[in-house]
Structure 1
Amino acid sequence: MTCDPEIIAEAILSSSGFARVGITMPDPDMRERAARDMAQTIAARLDRPPPSHDARQITLPL
């Protein structure tokens, strides 16, 4: 398992809205549920890193 900050940042941004908003709530139970939800998203993303660049694929200009 790699701990690349880019992968973690992407996982945080792709986590559910509940998780991203819930960790800011004053209710400790809500914060804990949201933190667990976000942690699951991050852990799943770390288990499945994004595919690496395939050198055989042509890069298209934008």
Structure 2
Amino acid sequence: MDRKFTLDRQNAKLMGVGSGLANYSGVDPLLVRLGLVLAVLVTGPIAIILYIATGWLASDR
């Protein structure tokens, strides 16, 4: 697998993490975003911290 995860700021709703994950995995962006919301509801601040860290550390290209 030679693909690399990148943020998708053109289709972003917040930081581009959800749309980047959708592009990387080939899943519909709505499902990824719903999964992220579910992760926040289940894990609370851990998912929020990981989301923000991914948004800061991942590259745009």
* TM-score normalized with structure 2 length: 0.35
Q: Which has the larger radius of gyration?
A: 1
Q: Using structure 1 for the length normalisation, give the TM-score.
A: 0.34
